[in-house]
Amino acid sequence: MEDDYYSIESILAENQKIQCTFKIDVPDMGHLDGGNERDIKALSKVQVPLWMAYILIYSDYADFTIPPPFSARVRSALNAEARSVRLSNLVGQAGLWYGFGRMIMRLLNDDVAKEMSDVLVKTFRDRLPEVIDQAQHFASVHASSADSGVGGDNATMLFREGLDGTERELFALAQDSTRRTKRWYETSERGRRS
């Protein structure tokens, strides 16, 4: 998630494609779009990975459109009930919706970027308690007994499947730490002491 050069998450988040509209002709680069064209013509729309889009946009060779995971439709769905949106579907399996969003945010101008940041922050805060709740629930279920009815109801399962990569990481952290603490509370170490 962070900008660390060595962060795999950061590289994965940059690997998402966004749609760019070229403002100028670029000779001999038609293969970027996977087509048979030899050149990229001005005003043609090309999907390029985000890491390449940076330089195109900053050099004013191209414009970009806000990608579908952050479209108005998704935003209003998030606004209505952040917990029922499946973030993982928006950016692919193990995708990094927040990481991607943050990189798009960097490309935008102040006002739009602020709006984007608000969407990201609000979504994260709305979803966080549910992520942690479920993590803690699962920590105790597995620690105490092999309960067969573990799955919970359908809605919570859908929520878990919809977690984005960053949330998955938090889920694992919370689950681990809860499990460790719980184990400590429950074991008596009288035997070890004597």
Partner 1 sequence: MALPTPLRASVTPAELELIASEQLVEIVPLVAMERTAFISGAYGPLRPPTKCKVPIWMATNLKLKKKCRVVPPDWLNVEFLEGRLTQETSEAGFSEMPFRFAEVAKVLLDVAPDDFPNPDKIRSLLKDIREARQAKSREGLSKLDHSELSLPNLCSMEINEIRPFFIRAMGVLTDLVKEAQPQQDAP
Question: Would you say 44 or 168 has its CB closer to partner 1?
Answer: 168
Q: Which of 70, 98, 100, 138 binds partner 1 (CB under 8 A)?
A: 98
Q: Which of 109, 145, 148, 154 binds partner 1 (CB under 8 A)?
A: 109
Question: Would you say 39 or 177 has its CB closer to partner 1?
Answer: 177
Q: Which of 95, 101, 162, 165 binds partner 1 (CB under 8 A)?
A: 101
- Shortest Å distance, C-beta 53 to partner 1: 12
What are the residues facing 47 on neighbouring strands?
A: 19
- Pick from 171, 169, 165: which is nearest to 12 by CA? 165
State which of positions 148-187 bind partner 1 (CB under 8 A): 166, 169-170, 173-174, 176-178, 180-181, 183-185
- Candidates 19-27, 68-76, 79-87, 115-123: pick the segment binding partner 1 (CB under 8 A): 115-123
Question: Would you say 46 or 99 has its CB closer to partner 1?
Answer: 99
What string of DSSP letters covers the chain?
----TT-HHHHHHHTSEEEEEESS-BTT-GGGGTSS-SSBPTT-EEEEEHHHHHHHHHTTSEEE---GGGSHHHHHHHHH-GGGS-HHHHH-TT--HHHHHHHHHHHS-HHHHHHHHHHHHHHHHHHHHHHHHHHHHHHHHHHH---TTTT--HHHHHHHHT--HHHHHHHHHHHHHHHHHHHHHH---HHHH-
Q: Is 138 in the site for partner 1 (CB under 8 A)?
A: no
Q: Is 81 in the site for partner 1 (CB under 8 A)?
A: no
In this structure, the dihedral spanned by the alpha carbons of residues 106, 51, 68 and 62, taken in order and rounded to 10 degrees, is: 80
- Shortest Å distance, C-beta 163 to partner 1: 13
- Contact residues for partner 1 (CB under 8 A)? 1-2, 54-55, 58, 98, 101-102, 105-106, 109-110, 113-114, 116-117, 120-121, 124-125, 128-129, 132-133, 135, 166, 169-170, 173-174, 176-178, 180-181, 183-185, 188-190, 193-194
